[in-house]
A and B are shown apart, each in its own frame.
Chain A
Amino acid sequence: MDINVLAFLVPAGITACFLPLSDASSFVILYIVTSVYFSGVMVRLMLVLAPAACILSGIALSEAFDVFTGSIKFQLPGISRNSQIDVRDTSSAGVVTQDDGVKTDKNEESLKERPSKKNKKKERENAEKALIKPPLEKRLLVLPLEASVISLLLLVLLGAFYVVHCVWAAAEAYSAPSIVLTSHTNNGLHVFDDFREAYAWLSHNTEVDDKVASWWDYGYQTTAMANRTVIVDNNTWNNTHIATVGTAMSSPEKAAWEIFHSLDVKYVLVVFGGLVGYPSDDINKFLWMVRIGGGVFPHIKEPDYLRDGQYRIDSQATPTMLNCLMYKLCYYRFVETDGQGFDRVRKTEIGKKHFKLTHFEEVFTTHHWMVRLYKLKPPKNRIRGKTKKSKTKASSTTGSKGSGKRNPWQ
Chain B
Amino acid sequence: MFVQPKREKEIKPSQERQQRNTSLQQLGPKNILPLGYKCPRWPIFSPYSFSLKTPRSTLEQSRRDSRVRQTGERRDDDAMEAPQSSLRSALVFSFIAIAYLSLLVRSATLSSPELQILNAERRIDLTSHIIRVYLTLKVENTGAAPASEIFLAFPPAQVDHLAIVKAAATFGKKKKKSYLPLDVNPTDLPDAPNGAKCFSISLVSPLKTGESVTLEVLYILSHSLEPFPIEISQSESQLVYYHDSAIILSPYHIKHQTTFIKTSSPKVESFTRVEPSDRVGTELKYGPYEDRHSYSFSPIIVHFENNNPFAVVEELVREVEISHWGSLQVTERYKLVHAGARHKGVFSRLEYQHRPQFSGVSSFKHLLATLPPKVHSVYYRDEIGNISSSHLRTNSKKSELEIEPRYPLFGGWKATFVIGYGLPLQDFLFESPDGRRYLNFSFGCPLAETVVDKLTIKVVLPEGSKNPSAVVPFAVDQRIETSFSYLDVVGRTVVVLEKENVVPEHNSPFQVYYNFNPIFMVAEPLMLASVFFFFFIACVTYLHMDISIRK
Query: Could you tell me which A residues sit within 8 Å of B by CB distance?
Result: 180, 191, 193, 196-197, 199-201, 204-205, 225, 333, 336-337, 361-367, 369
CB of B407 within 8 A of CB of A197, answer yes
B348 is contacted by which of A225, A365, A367 (Cβ under 8 Å)? A365
- Contact string against A for B residues 377-399, beta-carbon threshold 8 Å, 1 for contact and 0 otherwise: 00000101101110000000000
Minimum CB distance partner of A334 in chain B: B350
Cα A365 to Cα B388 with chains together (Å): 19
CB of B407 within 8 A of CB of A364, answer yes
Cα A196 to Cα B388 with chains together (Å): 11
| Smallest beta-carbon distance A191→chain B, Å | 5
Cα A168 to Cα B350 with chains together (Å): 38
Q: Decide if B416 is an interface residue (CB 8 Å cutoff).
A: yes
| Smallest beta-carbon distance A118→chain B, Å | 50
CB of A363 within 8 A of CB of B349, answer no
Minimum CB distance partner of A200 in chain B: B406
| B415 neighbours in A (Cβ, 8 Å) | 200, 204
CB of A336 within 8 A of CB of B406, answer no
CB of A196 within 8 A of CB of B384, answer yes
Minimum CB distance partner of B348 in chain A: A362
Cα A369 to Cα B412 with chains together (Å): 22
- Contact string against A for B residues 52-88, beta-carbon threshold 8 Å, 1 for contact and 0 otherwise: 0000000000000000000000000000000000000
Minimum CB distance partner of A194 in chain B: B406
Cα A400 to Cα B243 with chains together (Å): 46
Q: Decide if B42 is an interface residue (CB 8 Å cutoff).
A: no
CB of A197 within 8 A of CB of B406, answer yes
CB of B407 within 8 A of CB of A200, answer yes
CB-CB contacts below 8 Å: B398-416 with A: 406-407, 412-416
A363 is contacted by which of B347, B382, B387, B406 (Cβ under 8 Å)? B347
21 A–B contacts, CB within 8 A, in A order = A193-B388, A196-B384, A196-B385, A196-B406, A197-B407, A199-B384, A200-B382, A201-B407, A204-B414, A205-B412, A205-B414, A336-B354, A362-B347, A362-B348, A364-B347, A364-B349, A364-B407, A365-B348, A366-B349, A366-B407, A367-B349
Q: Other CB < 8 Å A-B pairs besides A193-B387, A205-B414, A337-B350, 16 of them? A: A180-B385, A200-B384, A200-B406, A201-B407, A204-B413, A204-B415, A333-B348, A336-B354, A337-B354, A361-B345, A362-B348, A363-B347, A365-B347, A365-B348, A365-B350, A367-B407
Minimum CB distance partner of A201 in chain B: B407
| B389 neighbours in A (Cβ, 8 Å) | 193
Cα A22 to Cα B388 with chains together (Å): 57
| B350 neighbours in A (Cβ, 8 Å) | 333, 336-337, 365
**Known contacts being A365-B347, A365-B348, is A191 close to B388, with CB within 8 Å?**
yes
| A363 neighbours in B (Cβ, 8 Å) | 346-347
CB of B406 within 8 A of CB of A201, answer yes
| B346 neighbours in A (Cβ, 8 Å) | 361-363
Cα A203 to Cα B345 with chains together (Å): 18
A205 is contacted by which of B349, B384, B387, B413 (Cβ under 8 Å)? B413
**B354, B382, B384 — most chain A CB neighbours (10 Å):** B384
- Contact string against A for B residues 345-389, beta-carbon threshold 8 Å, 1 for contact and 0 otherwise: 111111000100000000000000000000000000010110111
| B348 neighbours in A (Cβ, 8 Å) | 333, 362, 365
Cα A337 to Cα B348 with chains together (Å): 12
Minimum CB distance partner of B412 in chain A: A205
Cα A362 to Cα B416 with chains together (Å): 23
B406 is contacted by which of A193, A333, A337, A361 (Cβ under 8 Å)? A193
| Smallest beta-carbon distance B312→chain A, Å | 14
Closest 8 CB pairs of A and B: A365-B349, A197-B406, A204-B414, A225-B384, A200-B406, A191-B388, A201-B407, A205-B413
Query: Could you tell me which B residues sit within 8 Å of A by CB distance?
Result: 345-350, 354, 382, 384-385, 387-389, 406-407, 412-416
| B407 neighbours in A (Cβ, 8 Å) | 197, 200-201, 364, 366-367
**B354, B388, B406, B412 — most chain A CB neighbours (10 Å):** B406
Minimum CB distance partner of A225 in chain B: B384
| B382 neighbours in A (Cβ, 8 Å) | 200
| Smallest beta-carbon distance B246→chain A, Å | 40
The B interface, classified by DSSP as helix, strand, loop or mixed, is loop
A204 is contacted by which of B345, B387, B416 (Cβ under 8 Å)? B416
Minimum CB distance partner of A374 in chain B: B346
| Smallest beta-carbon distance A92→chain B, Å | 54
| Smallest beta-carbon distance A284→chain B, Å | 21
| B345 neighbours in A (Cβ, 8 Å) | 361
**A191, A364, A369 — most chain B CB neighbours (10 Å):** A364
Minimum CB distance partner of A191 in chain B: B388
| A366 neighbours in B (Cβ, 8 Å) | 349, 407
| Smallest beta-carbon distance B385→chain A, Å | 6
| A197 neighbours in B (Cβ, 8 Å) | 406-407
Minimum CB distance partner of A336 in chain B: B350
| A193 neighbours in B (Cβ, 8 Å) | 387-389, 406
Cα A131 to Cα B68 with chains together (Å): 108
| Smallest beta-carbon distance B179→chain A, Å | 44
| Smallest beta-carbon distance A269→chain B, Å | 14
| Smallest beta-carbon distance B405→chain A, Å | 8
Cα A362 to Cα B347 with chains together (Å): 6
| B384 neighbours in A (Cβ, 8 Å) | 196, 199-200, 225
Cα A8 to Cα B162 with chains together (Å): 80
Minimum CB distance partner of A224 in chain B: B384
| B412 neighbours in A (Cβ, 8 Å) | 205
| Smallest beta-carbon distance B528→chain A, Å | 36
Cα A373 to Cα B416 with chains together (Å): 20
Cα A369 to Cα B348 with chains together (Å): 11
Cα A336 to Cα B388 with chains together (Å): 28
Cα A361 to Cα B344 with chains together (Å): 12
| B413 neighbours in A (Cβ, 8 Å) | 201, 204-205
Cα A193 to Cα B345 with chains together (Å): 25
| Smallest beta-carbon distance A181→chain B, Å | 12
| A205 neighbours in B (Cβ, 8 Å) | 412-414
| Smallest beta-carbon distance A9→chain B, Å | 41
| Smallest beta-carbon distance B490→chain A, Å | 38
| A333 neighbours in B (Cβ, 8 Å) | 348, 350
| Smallest beta-carbon distance A34→chain B, Å | 41
| Smallest beta-carbon distance B406→chain A, Å | 4
**A200, A205, A363 — most chain B CB neighbours (10 Å):** A200
Cα A159 to Cα B57 with chains together (Å): 95
| A337 neighbours in B (Cβ, 8 Å) | 350, 354
| A200 neighbours in B (Cβ, 8 Å) | 382, 384, 406-407, 415
| B387 neighbours in A (Cβ, 8 Å) | 193
| Smallest beta-carbon distance A70→chain B, Å | 48
| Smallest beta-carbon distance A260→chain B, Å | 18
| A362 neighbours in B (Cβ, 8 Å) | 346-348
| Smallest beta-carbon distance B470→chain A, Å | 33
Minimum CB distance partner of A195 in chain B: B384
Minimum CB distance partner of B352 in chain A: A365
Cα A366 to Cα B415 with chains together (Å): 15
| A201 neighbours in B (Cβ, 8 Å) | 406-407, 413
Cα A367 to Cα B412 with chains together (Å): 20
| A364 neighbours in B (Cβ, 8 Å) | 347, 349, 407
| Smallest beta-carbon distance A319→chain B, Å | 26
Minimum CB distance partner of B414 in chain A: A204
Cα A362 to Cα B349 with chains together (Å): 9
Minimum CB distance partner of A182 in chain B: B388
Cα A196 to Cα B406 with chains together (Å): 8
Minimum CB distance partner of A372 in chain B: B349
| B406 neighbours in A (Cβ, 8 Å) | 193, 196-197, 200-201
Cα A366 to Cα B414 with chains together (Å): 16
| B347 neighbours in A (Cβ, 8 Å) | 362-365
